[in-house]
């Protein structure tokens, strides 16, 4: 697993995660989508969808739910292993690509600074693979990867 050292990417991810954590704590975040697009044509090639279900009782009433960090980390590690193993069936990306992150929020959320509304950047007739999910007792995250049908797979 590789980590970026580019300062621009790091700052982008840092500001992104700070906003996402703010929305998560408020219970306003519904899903997070990582989109990988072709740099030349802006065609969406892969779409990593993380669906988030928030326990409303915890957000509204402040009820505390406990689950050990070890167990949560174990579940996350399983998902990361699954994501790493997805390379076996995902099509090869043979051209330069760019990534972007979309956040699905409630309608009443104010658009913060440096964020704009966007389209969903869906893939037409995708192949979908559902991965494991993990649960922190407050948030439940389901993972799904959809990718463009490879010509060889269609044949």
Partner 1 sequence: MILRTPPPRKRRAGSVADHESPVSDRRLVLYDDPVPVSVPVSSVDPPPDQMVCTYHCRQMVKSEFIVALDTAQKQVHGYQSQVETLKTELHEIEDERKKCQDRLRYLEQELEASKGREHALQERLIKEVNDSQERYQLQIKRCCELEVQLKKEVDSCKTSESSAASAKERATDLEEKLQRLSESSEREKNRLQRELSHCQDESKLSVSRKTADLERMRLKAENLEEESELLKKQLKEIREQLDECRHQKSALECKLSTIPTPSESTPSEDKNLVKHLREELQNYEAEVQEARRLKSCHMNNELLKEKLLEEKGRREKAEMELSQLREAQLNAQNLELELMSWKSLLKEIPDVTSCDDIPKKIAGLQKEAIESMIKVGEISAHLKELEVSLELAELSKQHAEKESALAKEKAENSALEVKRLELMLCSVTEERDRLNKDVIVLNKQKTAHADSRMMDETLVKDLESSLALREHTIKELESNLHEQREVINRQHDEMKLLNEKLSFEARRIKSLEREGDRLRSEIALLESKVLRMVNTLAVDNETKQTIEALQSELKKTQAKLQAVEELKGQSDAGNVIDVDISEKLAQLKGQIAILEKREERYKAVFAERISVFRRACCSLFGYKIVMDDQQRPNGIPVTRFTLQSIYAQSDDEKLEFEYESGNTNILVNDYSSQPEISHQIIVALAIEAELSLQLYQCNSYALPVY
Tokens at residue 33, please? 């989508």
Tokens at residue 151, please? 């010509």
**Position 102 contacts partner 1 (CB under 8 A):** yes
Closest CA to 50 of 1, 120, 3, 103: 103
Nearer residue to partner 1 within complex by CB, 83 or 115: 115
CB of 67 to partner 1, least distance (A): 27
Binds partner 1 (CB under 8 A): choice among 83, 90, 109, 129: 109
Distance, in Å, from the CA atom of 76 to the CA atom of 140, rounded to the nearest integer, reads 12
Distance, in Å, from the CA atom of 123 to the CA atom of 44, rounded to the nearest integer, reads 6
Binds partner 1 (CB under 8 A): choice among 60, 66, 94, 117: 117
Q: Interface with partner 1 by CB under 8 A: which residues?
A: 6, 8-9, 12, 15-16, 19, 30-31, 42, 100-107, 109, 111, 113-120, 122, 125-126, 128
């Amino acid at each position: 697993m590789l980590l970026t050292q580019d300062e621009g990417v790091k700052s982008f991810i840092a500001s992104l995660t700070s906003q996402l954590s703010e929305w998560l704590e408020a219970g306003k975040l519904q899903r997070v989508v990582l989109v990988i697009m072709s740099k030349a044509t802006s065609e969406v090639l892969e779409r990593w969808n993380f669906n988030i279900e928030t326990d409303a009782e915890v957000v509204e009433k402040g009820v505390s739910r406990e689950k050990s960090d070890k167990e949560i980390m174990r579940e996350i590690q399983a998902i990361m292993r699954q994501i790493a193993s997805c390379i076996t069936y995902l099509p090869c990306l043979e051209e330069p690509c760019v990534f972007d992150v979309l956040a699905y929020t409630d309608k009443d959320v104010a658009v913060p600074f440096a964020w704009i509304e966007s389209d969903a950047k869906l893939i037409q007739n995708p192949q979908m693979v559902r991965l494991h999910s993990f649960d922190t007792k407050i948030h439940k995250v389901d993972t799904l990867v959809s990718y463009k049908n490879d010509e060889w797979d269609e044949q």
